[in-house]
C-alpha cells in the first residue's frame, strides 16, 4: 500500500525558502507524476505544481517564479522549494500521487497527511 509522508520545517522566516520533502513508501517515485497542493487558513485547496522524474515540471502560473518541484529516485522522494515566502504562504502542504484514469482523467488519487508550515519572524 502506497503511503506519502511530508516532512520539513514547520516555521519559516519571511523572505526565506520553504523546503519540504515527500517520502514515498510502498511504491516507486519513477512510476507516476507527483503534485504539491496547499490549504491556507480560510481558503480552498490550491494546486502548486507537478513533476515527473524524467520530465519537465509544470507549475501554477502565480507561483512559477518562486517554486521548484523535483523527484529524487535514489531517495524515492519528491521535494518542494518555495522561495521568498511571505505570510500568505502559511498553509498545510500536501503531496499527492497523480494517476491517469480512462486515458485523459488526471486525478490526485493518493495524498499525504500534510505538513503545516507557518511563515513568521
Partner 1 sequence: DIQMTQSPSSLSASVGDRVTVTCRASQDIRNYLAWFQQKPGNGPKFLIFAASSLQTGVPTRFSGSGSGREFTLTISNLQPDDFGTYYCQQYNDNPWTFGRGTKVEI
Binding site for partner 1 (CB under 8 A): 4, 37, 43-47, 58, 60-62, 94, 96, 101-102, 104-114
Work out whether the CA dihedral 44, 101, 1, 20 comes out positive or negative.
negative
Nearer to partner 1, 112 or 119 (CB): 112
- Least Å from the CB of residue 2 to partner 1: 12
- Which residues are 110's β-sheet partners? 97
If you search the block for the grid coordinates 505538513, which residue do you land on? 115
CA geometry: angle 110, 90, 37, nearest 5 deg:
20
Q: Tell me the C-alpha distance between 69 and 20, whole Å.
A: 10
- Least Å from the CB of residue 91 to partner 1: 13
Nearer to partner 1, 10 or 121 (CB): 10
Nearer to partner 1, 76 or 98 (CB): 98
- Least Å from the CB of residue 51 to partner 1: 14
Amino acid at each position: 500500500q502506497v503511503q506519502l509522508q511530508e516532512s520539513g520545517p514547520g516555521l519559516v522566516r519571511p523572505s526565506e525558502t520553504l523546503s519540504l520533502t515527500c517520502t514515498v513508501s510502498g511504491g516507486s517515485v519513477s512510476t507516476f507524476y507527483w503534485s504539491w497542493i496547499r490549504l491556507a487558513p480560510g481558503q480552498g485547496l490550491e494546486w502548486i505544481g507537478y513533476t515527473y522524474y524524467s520530465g519537465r515540471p509544470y507549475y501554477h502560473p502565480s507561483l512559477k517564479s518562486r517554486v521548484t518541484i523535483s523527484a529524487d529516485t535514489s531517495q524515492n522522494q519528491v521535494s518542494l522549494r518555495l522561495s521568498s515566502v511571505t505570510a500568505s504562504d502559511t498553509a498545510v502542504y500536501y503531496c499527492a500521487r497523480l494517476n491517469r484514469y480512462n486515458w485523459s482523467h488526471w486525478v490526485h488519487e493518493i495524498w499525504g497527511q500534510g505538513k503545516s508550515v507557518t511563515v513568521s519572524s
